[in-house]
Amino acid sequence: MHIGEFAKRSGISERMLRYYESRGVLTPRRSDAGYRQYSEADLQQATLVRQLNEAGLKLDSVALLLPCLVDDAPHFDPCDRVRATLANELSALDQKLDALQQSRARLARLVDQVKNAV
């Protein structure tokens, strides 16, 4: 499918799809005329990319991890190469998770206070 339909189905703007491609995290085939041709597999990958990105991973990191995540039987050559990166991302993720949970708790408590005060 072309980018317009794909954007609707994935919920990702055309702008961001092109950006994803420029960052090497989603590279659809091209028609003879140069039109991007997205597949069903691209749909899953796009969603995965979006989720990882929204979770705080930069697209560069996503690009590194992607080869390890797409295959059902992962090949570890590239994974091994980026293991350090991976570990860093993971601990950064944990840290962010902690901060996020603390903030969440704080805000939730605040919401409760507001509600009870009414």
Partner DNA sequence: ATTGACCTTAACAGCACTGTCAGGCCGCAG
Partner DNA sequence: CTGCGGCCTGACAGTGCTGTTAAGGTCAAT
List 30, 58, 70, 107, residue binding its own copies (CB under 8 A): 107
- Write out the two tokens for 79: 């994974």
DSSP notation for 62-79: HHHHHHHHHSSS--HHHH
- Write out the two tokens for 28: 């659809």
List 17, 26, 59, 65, residue binding its own copies (CB under 8 A): 65
**76: Cα separation from own chain's centroid:** 21
Say whether residue 85 binds its own copies (CB under 8 A).
Answer: no
List 11, 24, 27, 35, residue binding DNA (CB under 7 A): 35
Say whether residue 76 binds its own copies (CB under 8 A).
Answer: yes
The CA-based dihedral angle spanning residues 26, 29, 31, 33, taken in that order and rounded to the nearest 10 degrees: 50
Minimum CB–partner distance for residue 52 and DNA (Å): 9
The 8-class DSSP code of residue 23 comes to: T
How far, in Å, CA of 27 to CA of 29, rounded? 7
The residues that touch DNA, with contacts defined as CB under 7 A, are: 2-5, 13-16, 18-19, 23, 31-36, 53, 58-60
The residues that touch its own copies, with contacts defined as CB under 8 A, are: 51-52, 54-57, 65, 68-69, 74, 76, 79-80, 83, 86-87, 89-90, 93-94, 96-97, 99-104, 106-108, 110-111, 113-114, 117-118
